[in-house]
Amino acid sequence: MQPNLFFTAALRAASFKIKYAVSISVAAAALFTSQTTFADDLTVQSRAALHQIVANNPAAAGVFSEARAVLVFPNVVKAGFIVGAQGGEGVLFVHGKPAAHYRTTAASYGLQAGVQKYGYALFFMNQKALDWVNTTREWEIGTGPSIVVVDKGMARSLTTSTMHSGIYAFTFDQKGLMAGMGIQGSKIKRLN
């Protein structure tokens, strides 16, 4: 009778270990799949936002035709009351192919209240600017290569012959109520 009890206890322990290992494997597969799905969704959203801004903004279309790469943040959310924060994730496209994923974050303080959503795209015009971004894991807009934020007034006069900056930034799809939207001071970090 004793050997049978030992065998039964060993069998139960082995069964528990197998169930535990299977559970861990299933959880890891689900996590990997959800991260892959998120990355795929982000790429689709970023590509759609890029097509939208190029189709709806002639200045962006002109810059896009000359750009080496484009970093697109399709959904940046900014919220605050006196103290504010913003954040979102995006994709760097090099020659139309997704090359890396990035996160943008920023904090601010002052007279502000509300929530808004917007997107922005950074067009890298030369290899030097693209190389700098590729070798810098984390950077802040306003440091590194010169960035020109293209507003509606500048967009009217911007042509491929007047472009001299390393990076051009376009904002798009502003929704919500919050005074003041800016990308200056935003931190950008490479995720992969």
Dihedral sign for Cα atoms in the order 42, 79, 56, 169: negative
More confident: 11 or 61: 61
pLDDT digits (tens, 9 = 90+) for 57-96: 898 999 999 999 999 999 999 888 888 889 999 999 999 9
119-137 mean pLDDT: 91
Dihedral sign for Cα atoms in the order 79, 84, 89, 91: positive
Residue 177: strand pairing partners: 115
CA distance 1 to 6: 9
**Residue 20 — very low, low, confident or very high, per pLDDT cuts 50/70/90?**
very low
User: For the chain, what are the domain ranges?
Assistant: 51-190
Is the per-residue pLDDT at 101 higher than 50? yes
What is the per-residue pLDDT for 110? 78
pTM: 0.74
164-191 mean pLDDT: 77
**Residue 15 — very low, low, confident or very high, per pLDDT cuts 50/70/90?**
low
What is the per-residue pLDDT for 53? 93
Q: Which residue has the tokens 């009351």?
A: 81
Contacts of 60 (CB under 8 A, 6+ apart): 53, 54, 121, 123, 150, 155, 170
What is the per-residue pLDDT for 163? 52
Q: Which residue has the tokens 């982000």?
A: 42
Contacts of 172 (CB under 8 A, 6+ apart): 49, 52, 53, 56, 57, 118, 119, 120, 121
